Each structure stands twice: as C-alpha cells, then as structure tokens.
Amino acid sequence: MERHMAGNIYGTTVLGGECGGGTVFQLSQKPNGWEQTVLYSFTGGEDGSGPGARVSIDRSGNVYGMAPTGGTYGVGTIYKLHPHAGSWGFR
C-alpha cells in the first residue's frame, strides 16, 4: 500500500471487484474510521488482471501500477488511474 501526501492510502487486491480480476482501492480517513473506495475493477481482458503489486502516486494524484496477467497480448499491463470529474479514468 502507498500513502499519498493528502493522507489517503492506496492499494490493490489480486482478486475481487466486479469481474473478479482485482481492484485498485483508496482508503480515506473519516471521523468515525476509514472509508474504502474501489477506484477500478479489472476485467481480466485488455486492462489486465491481478494487480497485486505496489502502486505509485504522483503529485497530481495519478495512481500507477502493473497487472501481471491479461492485457492485449496476455502478458500483463502497466496502468494509470487519473482523477477525472469526481471519478477515476483508466489508461
């Protein structure tokens, strides 16, 4: 997991999410504890699957990581999640 300068914690799950291909999530501290938000659910297709590696976050809040399986040629992907109009975009 990785902590951003804004205080949020980011991490991944190898399995789970809407299609079972894993997720990238954010933990935000609230007055009564922590709130989890799933930023992206991997499908196991061209976007990849099993993003179990540590993520990196830049100053703009973009989240970078890799998924070791899936992708266009079946050998994994490198991804970027970027905050966009109240949600998250995937590249």
| Model pLDDT, residue 88 | 84
One-letter amino acid at 38 equals V
State pTM to two decimals.
0.88
| Model pLDDT, residue 86 | 75
Report d(CA 8, CA 16) in Å as an integer: 21
Q: Is residue 23 within 8 Å of residue 14, measured between CB atoms? A: no
Residues of the chain with pLDDT under 70: none
Q: Is residue 6 within 8 Å of residue 29, measured between CB atoms? A: no
